[in-house]
Structure 1
């Protein structure tokens, strides 16, 4: 049985938001995972944005709610990462003072 896979198409706004998240300090791997896009695609979008050639597809419409959800997921991932760093630092300094 052959399964034909279709290529996902994303709007320009979705791509621009993903690029913005990376430019604001998120790693491309984290943003790709959170948004559910291939990391290679996200890296292409970043490169194309730098060259002024970023365009969007028309078949997958992303609503404002979906964009907000993606932004909030990225922010949550960043806050969790910061929390984990603080936990490790606290444990390190607590161990050091003993």
Structure 2
């Protein structure tokens, strides 16, 4: 029973393989055969290494938080005013019955 060890590829090889697969006019399957890796492996590498890095959404600056806080304080003030107005209206409506 001879079990083969899985091949270990360097990150540099993976990245260059992805670049070759994306920029090549060949099918991914053909590119995989040319470089000697399994087609599914190359597809996995393409999904992993060609994703755009979207860190912009994850970064929240103090300025952003300050603006959000300011907006929320305005909203709280408006809702408080509306609530108080409704309380007064309910009080006067109750007195007229």
TM-score (norm 2): 0.48
Larger relative contact order (C-alpha < 8 A, sep ≥ 6)? 1
TM-score (norm 1): 0.48
Larger radius of gyration: 2
